Structure 1
Amino acid sequence: MRLSPVFLLSATDVAHFPAESKTFGAPEIAFLGRSNVGKSSLINALLGSKQAHTSSTPGRTRAINFFALHEGAGEKMKQRPTMIFADLPGYGYAKISKSISAEWPKFIEPYLSERETLALAICLVDTNIPPQPSDKQLIDYFKQTQRPYLVVGTKGDRLSNNVLAKSIATLKREHGVDEVLAVSAKTDVGTKALWARLLAVTE
């Protein structure tokens, strides 16, 4: 399925979130991860365009950026989107703050805990580094709140198959999850499998 992305808005307050009347209650997919985990690069790879701003400076994204994904173009773009991507600010960058709760603006938690149209949270973890406590904190949050989530391992192209397999096994063990889907924004490895999971929430 080919989806056409349209930037909706940047939200820095609960009042800024897209109204259901504008998105027709389309399911939302939230992308979360540590600063420089490759979140914006993965979103751009999935969309096939440079919609999400990428930066080498950790912590650059300070708002939730919403993108509507439509089938087709033209008049169809005025109809209900197939889904909404929500690109959330990165966390865990020491120069900004020491914890998720302290760093993230007050509108992040209400979005994750109260947003009725949030259908799936994509928790991004870096396969090139050891499991991070801040990632575990986020994953534990979704376990406790029973919000649907999927852990995705980024930058898989930088590791050999054997090393990647060991990294994924370690991430699964340390974060207490049954699955970590390895992807690469650079080579598109794993993106088709990820798309299948995203489209499943629209069914």
Structure 2
Amino acid sequence: MAEKVIITQGKYLASAVKPEQYPEIHRKEIVFIGRSNVGKSSLINSLTRVNQLARVSSQPGKTQTINFYEIGAKIDDDPGRKDFYLVDLPGYGYAKTGAQRRKIWSRFINEYLLGSEDLQFVCQLIDSRHEPMASDVEMFHWLVEHNLPVLVIATKVDKLSKNAVAKNISQIKRSLGVPELDVLPYSSVKNVGREELLNVIADCLLENDEVNE
């Protein structure tokens, strides 16, 4: 079956720690956030199918800026190309990051999340192999309290059996306190969840276009 969404371009655009460094051209933004080493860069590379678009590091806490990637997509039944940004935020909860650096990161991340007029929704990545940590739960509730739409993505599901994935996703829902929450299983290695995530992004882009017409 043909894919509904085809990524036609993906390129790194800018890194920022303050608003004046954000891209000058406004586009809709899909944001990725999660604990250090949860697999954000791998997911971005999997989603776009652009090898090493986001730099993958074995060293947690490597991403220290807000990174903007310009993405082009062709959506089935839509005549034009949709251009938007994937926005990769620094990982939270890395123990070896100094308190002062964490405070700085927190400030510019909050400034972006609360100030962006183009943000469509936030993908919060949680490692499917483990129970969510306090920082995961805290971040989820912070996003909800600030009325930011959240899609929780359970990463690295290829490392678990199907039964373990189902069990651990149920644990994620309980830990976040939302039993009916939709959680998207994702494997960057096997591209599990890729089509589903692209469809969510496409629906968001098309829906907002209809609103603006």
| TM-score normalised to structure 2 length | 0.85
Q: Once the 2 structures are TM-superposed, how far is the Cα of residue 198 of structure 1 from its aligned partner?
A: 1.4
2:188 corresponds to: 185
Q: String of CA shifts for 1:137-195, please: whole Å, max 9, x gaps.
A: 11101110111110000000000011110000000111123111110000111111111
Q: Once the 2 structures are TM-superposed, how far is the Cα of residue 12 of structure 1 from its aligned partner?
A: 1.9
What is the one-letter code of the residue matched to 1:64?
A: I
Q: Which aligned pairs between 1:85-96 and structure 2 lie closer than 5 A?
A: 85-96=86-97
Q: Which aligned pairs between 1:137-152 and structure 2 lie closer than 5 A?
A: 137-152=138-153
What is the one-letter code of the residue matched to 2:19?
A: V
2:20 corresponds to: 15
Q: String of CA shifts for 1:82-140, please: whole Å, max 9, x gaps.
A: 21100111111111147996362522111101100011100000011111110111110
2:210 corresponds to: none
What is the one-letter code of the residue matched to 2:170?
A: A
Maintained 8 Å contact 1:92/1:99: no
The reply on whether 1:2 has 2:3 as its aligned counterpart is no
Q: Which runs of 5+ in 2 are unaligned?
A: 75-79, 207-213
Superposition RMSD on alpha carbons, in Å?
A: 2.0
The reply on whether 1:116 has 2:117 as its aligned counterpart is yes
After superposition, the Cα gap between the structure-2 partners of 1:173 and 1:97, relative to the gap in structure 1 and judged at 3 Å, is farther
CA distance in 1: counterparts of 2:152 and 2:99, whole angstroms = 22
What is the one-letter code of the residue matched to 2:197?
A: L
Q: Once the 2 structures are TM-superposed, how far is the Cα of residue 80 of structure 1 from its aligned partner?
A: 8.0
Q: Once the 2 structures are TM-superposed, how far is the Cα of residue 53 of structure 1 from its aligned partner?
A: 0.6
How many aligned positions are there? 193
What is the one-letter code of the residue matched to 2:151?
A: L
SS in 2 for 1:2: strand
Q: Which runs of 5+ in 1 are unaligned?
A: 73-78
SS in 1 for 2:140: helix
What is the one-letter code of the residue matched to 2:16?
A: A
Q: Identity percentage over the alignment? A: 38
Maintained 8 Å contact 2:17/2:108: yes
